[in-house]
Amino acid sequence: MSSDRRLKILRILSLVFVVGIVAFIYFFRRQLPELARYGYAGVFMITLIANATVFVPIPGVMIVFALGGVFQPWVTAIFAGLGGATGELSGYLLGFSGQGLAERSATYQRLLEWMGKNQKFRDLAVLALAAIPNPIFDLAGIAAGTLKVPIYRFWFFCSIGSIIKYMIFGYAGKTLLKFFFG
């Protein structure tokens, strides 16, 4: 089998995988908070699932906010960040699959152009966009997949940004819940 054919099959499988994950998460979204009873492993799974959806909002940061008041916020942030970055691989795989869901978006085109210029900018963009709650991170993941950023680089910088974001939400949850409920 030629390498082009293998790549085409891999891209199709990536697309099918992402669509399957999104459908699964959508149908079981009400059971998501129940994973918190599994401690830090539950935190990992919640954020993995919440971030695996592409363009379908699941309130993972709000769950981490609440769990930051129950568990150690910094440990919660690490597990949430690693789970979130792993979940974000769905957007990366969508971009890798070469499918054009986001191609018509002006924001996606700007991200693709900005991330394509320089590896340092690409890594910084992934880290910065993962560190702040925003609706365009899925586009950054798709752009990274389209640009064939090495998956380990994407996951690493996404993890660092996600840990920063969840650290803020975890400590905010601990502080506010302690303030209001003693």
**pTM of the predicted structure, to 2 decimals:** 0.78
SS3 182: coil
Q: What is the pLDDT of residue 29?
A: 59
Q: What is the pLDDT of residue 24?
A: 66
Instruction: Return the ∠ at Cα 105 (arms to 49 and 161), rounded to 5°.
Output: 40
Q: What is the pLDDT of residue 79?
A: 96
11-15, 78-82, 175-179: range with lowest mean pLDDT: 11-15
Model confidence at 123: pLDDT above 80? yes
Task: Tell me how far apart the 2 most distant CA atoms of the chain are, in Å.
Answer: 64
Residues 62-83 have a mean pLDDT of: 89
Model confidence at 33: pLDDT above 70? no
Q: What is the pLDDT of residue 135?
A: 76
Sign of CA dihedral 129, 81, 12, 147: positive
Q: What is the mean pLDDT of the chain?
A: 82
Q: What is the pLDDT of residue 159?
A: 97
Q: What is the pLDDT of residue 171?
A: 94
Band of residue 182 on the pLDDT scale cut at 50, 70, 90: low
Domain ranges of the chain: 3-181
- 156 vs 92, 106, 160, 179, CA distance in Å? 13, 27, 6, 34
Residues 173-177 have a mean pLDDT of: 85
% of the chain beyond a pLDDT of 90: 27
Q: 3-class secondary structure for 86-132? A: HHCHHHHHHHHCCCCCCCCCHHHHHHHHHHHHCHHHHHHHHHHHHHC
